[in-house]
Structure 1
């Protein structure tokens, strides 16, 4: 089983990453999801519509973070290490929140003062008088990019809801230019966009989680070894 048929070329190092699937209630029973398009010249998934996300940075390990769900922390720690030193659950959640801020200009946070120096890539977040809060996020998916890609990630996907934002969900004025065409789209219509295969699979899982309201186990597509495997993290 492979997440991408283009499974050729040089094997690349794998980096830990975090992605956020931000949803909000639509005008009907059909929720919406926030997506944007990567640039045509991007090294990874060019011209594809994706969720905000990216690699876990070293500074994400020392962030004043309201903790996430205990079950999620246990699943994030897991017994399936891919990289030599996997980040802590808190660092993964912080990275997802930071990427949402950088790529969409949206903040998942609560009022509060930061302890100690603020990392450069968190400076504007902190200036808003907010600390990142991951307690409303749900860990719903994990996937390792297959060999042969220009970038490889061990990506964890988190579901979050727009009502937990401290910002206007329709204001993308503070976003960087990494993603274009940022917009809310109904989950039922999102598959009409030009999506990477893994994004299509995550969309389906997000819909299932929204219907169930809980996560009993997390799908894990593992392409880190000589053979692709699928398991569920319970």
Structure 2
């Protein structure tokens, strides 16, 4: 199964004619809602057709880590095993501030794109800046404690855009509030709704998104509570194809 995932992802990423750029740190959030029958649904949206990058594709909310994300106050800490996995790097461990920024970025992007506030109730006197002003208005602060790492993937060299993405997951009860509009203020995602994992696989998806869904299904078959110590896949390009390493 793992070999098939690697081969499909490698075959989808053969074009290498763009100038090489350094990948930017990014984070994506999979919000998982466990149904009464044990099935899981995940929150996804369709990228607006006006986007030059993956228009019309269904994705999880997420995006690039901003410098300010490392300075946003948070509630709770990552589980030590999750922190260790997030800090792992091919070029040396990340700092605590940088690893904290992964979850903050995923939470911020989820609000911007889906209108969902993920976090825990905070003191009324905290003053968020930028997008986090909307969080402080609702007395909500990002919470690292329920975050679980599902996978990590680095876009291969010589692609139009490159990201080093951490795919994080939280249970649906981590949602503290949401906008009535059913989407976020950025307008980047349309048709935001809950989908079963099988239904999601039938949509128009980036190959990496399909790969992550299948990795998640494989994990849930043996680890339904997403234990923090469970090894997670790390995809990166080497020579002529992807490598799948476990962290």
More moved, 98-107 vs 35-44: 35-44
Q: Which residue of 1 aligns with 2:231?
A: 217
C-alpha change, 1:171 and 1:162, in structure 2 (3 Å) is farther
Equivalent pairs counted in the alignment come to 232
Query: For each residue in 1:119-173, what CA deviation from the matched residue of structure 2 results, as whole angstroms up to 9, or x when unmatched?
Result: 3131112211111112111011000112343211000000111112112598625
Q: Which residue of 1 aligns with 2:200?
A: 190
Query: For each residue in 1:16-64, what CA deviation from the matched residue of structure 2 results, as whole angstroms up to 9, or x when unmatched?
Result: 0000011102353321111111122323222111000000001100111
CA RMSD of aligned residues (A): 2.7
Higher helix share: 2
- For 2:187 and 2:232, the matched residues in 1 are separated by 31
1:49 maps onto 2:58 in alignment = yes
- For 1:47 and 1:173, the matched residues in 2 are separated by 15
C-alpha change, 1:3 and 1:134, in structure 2 (3 Å) is farther
More moved, 192-201 vs 110-119: 110-119
Q: Which residue of 2 aligns with 1:64?
A: 73
More moved, 115-124 vs 39-48: 115-124
C-alpha change, 1:23 and 1:210, in structure 2 (3 Å) is same
Q: Which residue of 2 aligns with 1:134?
A: 144
Partner secondary structure for residue 182 of structure 1: strand
Match of residue 12, structure 2, among 4, 17, 20: 4
Q: TM-score, normalised by structure 1?
A: 0.88
1:106 maps onto 2:116 in alignment = yes
Alignment of 1:108-127 (within 5 A): 108-113=118-123, 118-127=128-137
Structure 1 unaligned runs (5+)? none
Q: Which residue of 1 aligns with 2:245?
A: 231
Partner secondary structure for residue 77 of structure 2: coil
